[in-house]
Structure 1
Amino acid sequence: MGGLIMSEQDYSQSEMEKALDSVHEVKIGDVVKGEVLAIDDGQLVVGIQGTGVEGVVPLKELTSDRSANIEDQAKVGDVIDLVVIASIGHDKENGSYLLSKRRLEARKVWSDIEAKFKAGEAIPVTVKEVVKGGLVVDAGVRGFIPASMVSDHFVDDLKEYVGQTFDVKIIEIEPSENRLILSRKALVQKEKEAKREELFAKILPGDEIEGKVARLTNFGAFVDLGGVDGLVHISEISHQRVDKPSDVLKVGEEVKVKVLSVDADRNRISLSMKALQPGPWDSVTEVAPVGAAIDGKVKRLTTFGAFVEVAPGIEGLVHISQISHQHIATPNDVLKEGQDVKVKVLSVDPENRRLSLSIKALTEKPASENDRDNQAQDDSEDNYVLPETDTGFSFGELLGDAAKDIEDDSDK
């Protein structure tokens, strides 16, 4: 019976061996549970359950948000899942370990991303910043989208994507190197193709629709109609002359357009903005009533006259015969492009967009011209007809010595 009796010393030693056997050795990479014992100097002090040792979790290993308050991340008594990332003590039994919650969560994210990559699924990301060559995104872990894979066309300024959230396709993944390469281009193309088919099935010439300016070029503006871009040629932006589309439009601007033509085979839609704007000729009779004297600017000179702009988009013709009382060979003799002039409205034809103007009607006729008109009137009263050809000489000069002889005879 005595052999069955265990001494107190033997009992204590046995219990100690059992306790030691229950303590698991801590290894780098182990996933453990840690009970928050204290929050000290910007880090958590935790007891690693089942080991009898302690570890620390700095704020940067709790969250990727460097501005976070550690008091909001955990409380004393909380039990959280952690991964052992380093040993920082020398005593095997009582030493401390560096632990991380953030890296454990990242490990789970990488596992999920790998599963979706194998299944060919897209993942959502949020753009954090623009770096050389592309975009840095948050996919639960850090990811990168090369600039060539951001969209289906060249993007001049990638900053417009910062803060945006969208789906991307996984191109390359390597968790051990924290490498995650993504692409938005393929999904954009797929989405646009679906929208293109839907739009082309219902859009017709003459339709008036709203869109957003997507891109500006030297020859016009591309307007997003909901996944499909249509072109507003520079000549269709405004009734007034537009030198550059960027002078009057901005990327992202909402515009209303009229569909001019649709070519599904060539994937082209021609649009117009000016077709929905009041035309300048609609109010021409108010701007330039017949008989009115108005200001204008010489826009073009031709052999037969000068085109003068009297209001934005409204030009009228001053025929060469209406430029000056004097005979001129070409309008260039007295006018220059860009010159400000005063004109009188002779006639208005809104339907055919014609405006007849005169400069000489507002200028005083030279005295020599008045004398010639008066002489012509006197001669007509005496039934004397002057030659039809204007020689440029006065009547007295035409008579010459004959007039002198008449004067000498009268003196005799």
Structure 2
Amino acid sequence: MNPANPVDQPMEEPVNNPEESNFGEILQQFELQQTAPVEAQPVEGGVLKGTVAAVNEDSIFVDLGGKSEGVLLKSAFADGAPDIQVGDLIQVSVTGRNAEGTLELSPLKVERPKDWSELQAAFEDKRNIAGRVVEAVKGGLRVEVAGSRAFMPASRSGTRDAIELAKLVGQEIECRVINLDTVKEDVVVDRRVILEEEAAKAKEAAFLLLEEGAVVKGRVRSVTDFGAFLDLGGVDGLLHVTDMSWHRVGKPSDVVKIGDDLEVKILKVNKNSKKVSLGLKQLIPDPWAAAASQFKVGDRVPGTVARLTDFGAFVELAPGVDGLVHVSEMSWAKKV
């Protein structure tokens, strides 16, 4: 087996008749171009997977990626803490933060069917089940559930490429049965639908925490001609070009770039459209508030021509404060 390119591996059993292709292969071909979902951010109520970073007598410390770490108390396991070692992958849910700001975690309980009858019940009720990825095959992965080997199409694995797909081999995953043929003993499972639901729940939980007037941190995800979109921890907010600075901004890319970490103010939260408007200039004093006391009628002050129009010139008197010199006020001697 070549783990670097698992999708090129042969199926466990050859298919002799193309017309007898099972449901999983048809689904995989139909959704091959689907885009994998983004993993949920660590917010309260979210379900995440992490790597055990350290274990002591009372706690398990979990690296959740993205510079996030959580603590899982061994006492949270009803049947006693399992034998967990550093480096193990573990699935948890976020319950909150402690006084130090560290994420508090709880173990995620997932059903593990023991036989076909329990598998059938989980399929009919659309319940999530636990499975173990045993190998990569052509078009996807083999997942052990209820003592049988189910097929998970690559497009339903929740991974972005063959490298990520290969990393699932040997891992415990949460999945859902989407096709069950007891006659052919054909089982197809889906992991991606669960990730999408988790991401949607995490996004909703994060959205409910946003309040107008609050100052939050965000990372620039994309830059457009009219502004920039910031990731606020699972929720996107728009920083419009007019709210970037008190002075005129030619292009948003002159102020921010992708990957920048910014502190912004939430200007508006639309609960119906789920849109969030952000402001950067609102974190600094409005220069016009001081302009009235700084500039008096009749004062002679220096300025820099900022831009020209058909009717005159705008002159910058101070950062964020422009004055208009109308064309009729430019010269006594000649008509401009």
Shorter-chain TM range is 0.3 to 0.5
Q: Return the structure number with greater relative CO, CA threshold 8 A, min gap 6.
A: 2
Between Structure 1 and Structure 2, which shows a larger proportion of helix residues? Answer: 1
State TM-score, norm by structure 2. 0.44
State TM-score, norm by structure 1. 0.37
